[in-house]
Amino acid sequence: WTDFERATIKDIFSKIDYECNLFKCSCFLRCLIVYPWTQRYFAGFGNLYNAAAITSNPKVAAHGKVVMQGLEKAVKNMDNIKATFTELSTLHSEKLQVDPDNFMLLGDCLAIVVAAQLGKDFTPEVHAAFQKFLAVVVSSLRRQYY
């Protein structure tokens, strides 16, 4: 990581307000709405019938927060993301059996939310740093798959 990349990633995550809908659930709920096949893993979450149901589903909001907190661990361990996500990767692979192609879909939703939040501060350089961070996260989550 360059100094700029480190500072950018930390700055983006420092702006996350977990009680605010924007980050708490909008990345995850956007993923469920835009890529509806991802809903199949959340059968226990109740009503995911349409965008309105997904948006007002408290389990979706709660899980959105869990995912963001998982990502925050990566931010705190930027030099060791692969090891940080070993257990999480095993969980998604062996227990949850999530198709790993879905990870970047959630990452793309996150990038859209961050871009909307930062506005003109989401420069090409910031975008590149964020995309690199997402790529490392996704490759770490894929690592325990076989």
Q: At what angle are helices 26-34 and 58-76 packed, to 10 degrees?
A: 120
Q: Which is nearer to ligand HEM, 3 or 101 (CB)?
A: 101
**Can residue 136 be called a binding residue for ligand HEM (CB under 6 A)?**
no
Q: How far is CA 103 from CA 27, 46, 140, in A?
A: 12, 22, 10
**Can residue 38 be called a binding residue for ligand HEM (CB under 6 A)?**
yes
Whole-number Å distance between alpha carbons of 100 and 25: 21
**Can residue 98 be called a binding residue for ligand HEM (CB under 6 A)?**
yes
Q: How far is the CB of 120 from ligand HEM (least distance, A)?
A: 26
Q: How far is the CB of 56 from ligand HEM (least distance, A)?
A: 18
Say if residue 8 is exposed, middle or buried (CB neighbours under 10 Å; 0-12, 13-18, 19+). Answer: buried
Q: Site residues (CB under 6 A) for ligand HEM? A: 38, 41-42, 44, 63, 66-67, 70-71, 88, 91-92, 96, 98, 102-103, 106-107, 137, 141
